[in-house]
């Protein structure tokens, strides 16, 4: 796969995502993004960034790491995740993440149930298509509903999945600010100039922060490293798919090994153990 560094940082790289959405001085960017996602449902006036690492009550309970975690002015909690490739238990992980923050709200040793939970939402930005999904839908709003009446059963827990590959609108077809956010996320790293349709203060701010020439030497090095990791992953997946096709193997099998290895690396598991578990070579694991 051929890739090149453009004028603006890639918002789907780890560095780019955190720079645009995870910076306290520029939190109005994340606020606007969330308000467009929740338009007509709720309005976020302010937010604070919260810890992204949560350990269990005991050593036996799995520690979780969020990409971003923030709390709204009214106490509502938002988990924002980026997911490059589909994993077998991705939906289970999404539910597990929210359950961890629900558990965090319960007072230790409380014997009577007399607590009201804060609103909790998980937003996942996906660079893949759901298996057996609807190719015409790029935003999925998920909530606890009554399957008979289709009414919301519980309105304080929700999931929003942004399926970027399904968003295919051109500049001329963008109608709402949410459309513009989708377009920016998917295309910003390929743009050489700011589209007129994104001539709005919040988007102008995004492009200014994302301008590669505005990075310090240290930031540029961090971005290069983040981008290399993203490209290595994409190339590894492409190579695995080609190899699987040549060997007549189902593509998902090889791809799944890479997904598992990447998640294991995030958890800090040694490369030798990852290689042993996934049957990938140590050289490939070290490059992921």
pLDDT tens readout for residues 245-256 = 665 545 555 566
What is the average pLDDT value for the chain, to the nearest integer?
A: 86
Read off the tokens for 45: 């006036």
For the ranges 24-33, 110-119, 159-168, which has the lowest average pLDDT? 110-119
* pLDDT category of residue 18 using cuts at 50, 70 and 90: very high
Question: Are residues 40 and 255 in contact, defined by beta-carbon separation less than 8 angstroms?
Answer: no
* pLDDT category of residue 76 using cuts at 50, 70 and 90: very high
The per-residue pLDDT for 265 is 74
- Are residues 198 and 237 part of one domain? no
The per-residue pLDDT for 247 is 57
Question: 2 lies in a domain?
Answer: no
Question: 102 lies in a domain?
Answer: yes
Question: 7 lies in a domain?
Answer: no
Give the torsion through C-alpha atoms of 36, 40, 46, 47, to 10 deg: -70
For the ranges 39-53, 83-97, 249-263, which has the lowest average pLDDT? 249-263
The per-residue pLDDT for 273 is 78
Highest average pLDDT, of 69-78, 85-94, 217-226, comes from 69-78
Highest average pLDDT, of 26-35, 87-96, 106-115, comes from 26-35
Question: 9 lies in a domain?
Answer: no
Residue 191: give the domain boundaries.
14-214
- Are residues 235 and 144 part of one domain? no
The per-residue pLDDT for 110 is 65
- Enumerate residues 6+ apart whose C-beta is below 8 A from 269: none
Question: 125 lies in a domain?
Answer: yes
- Are residues 225 and 207 part of one domain? no
- Are residues 162 and 42 part of one domain? yes
- Are residues 275 and 155 part of one domain? no
- Are residues 177 and 279 part of one domain? no
Per-residue CA distances from 228 to 53, 72, 140, 192, 233 (Å) = 25, 34, 30, 20, 8
- Are residues 112 and 35 part of one domain? yes
Residue finishing a domain among 165, 183, 214 = 214
Question: 87 lies in a domain?
Answer: yes
Question: 243 lies in a domain?
Answer: yes
- Are residues 222 and 205 part of one domain? no
* pLDDT category of residue 214 using cuts at 50, 70 and 90: very high
Q: Give pTM, 2 decimals.
A: 0.79
Residue finishing a domain among 197, 214, 231 = 214
The per-residue pLDDT for 226 is 84
The per-residue pLDDT for 109 is 67
- Are residues 171 and 249 part of one domain? no
> In this model, does residue 224 exceed pLDDT 60?
yes
- Are residues 237 and 137 part of one domain? no
| Number of independent structural domains in the chain | 2
The per-residue pLDDT for 284 is 73
Average pLDDT over residues 34-48: 95
Question: 189 lies in a domain?
Answer: yes
- Are residues 160 and 233 part of one domain? no
Residue finishing a domain among 214, 238, 273 = 214
- Are residues 50 and 18 part of one domain? yes
């Amino acid at each position: 796969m051929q890739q090149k560094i453009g004028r603006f940082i890639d918002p789907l790289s780890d560095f780019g995502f955190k720079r645009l959405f995870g910076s306290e001085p520029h939190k109005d960017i994340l606020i606007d993004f969330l308000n467009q996602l929740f338009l007509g449902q709720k309005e976020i006036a302010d937010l604070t960034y919260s810890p992204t690492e949560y350990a269990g009550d005991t050593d036996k309970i799995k520690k979780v790491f969020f990409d971003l975690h923030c709390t709204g002015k009214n106490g509502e909690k938002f988990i924002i995740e980026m997911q490059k490739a589909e994993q077998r238990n991705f939906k289970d992980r999404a539910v597990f993440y929210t359950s961890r923050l629900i558990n965090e709200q319960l007072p230790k040793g409380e014997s009577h149930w007399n607590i009201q939970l804060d609103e909790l939402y998980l937003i996942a930005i996906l660079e893949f298509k759901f298996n057996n999904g609807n190719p015409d839908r790029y935003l999925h709003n998920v909530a606890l509903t009554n399957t008979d009446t289709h009414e919301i059963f519980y309105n304080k827990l929700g999931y929003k999945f942004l399926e970027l590959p399904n968003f295919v609108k051109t500049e001329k077809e963008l109608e709402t600010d949410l459309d513009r956010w989708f377009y920016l996320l998917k295309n910003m790293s390929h743009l050489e100039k700011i589209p007129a349709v994104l001539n709005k203060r919040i988007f102008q701010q995004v492009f200014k922060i994302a301008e590669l020439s505005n990075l310090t030497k240290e930031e540029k090095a961090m971005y290069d490293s983040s981008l290399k990791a993203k490209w290595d992953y994409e190339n590894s997946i492409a190579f695995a798919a080609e190899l699987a096709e040549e060997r007549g193997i189902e593509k998902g099998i090889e791809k799944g090994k890479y997904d598992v290895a990447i998640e294991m690396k995030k958890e800090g598991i040694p490369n030798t153990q990852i290689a042993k578990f996934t049957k990938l070579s140590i050289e490939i694991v070290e490059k992921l």
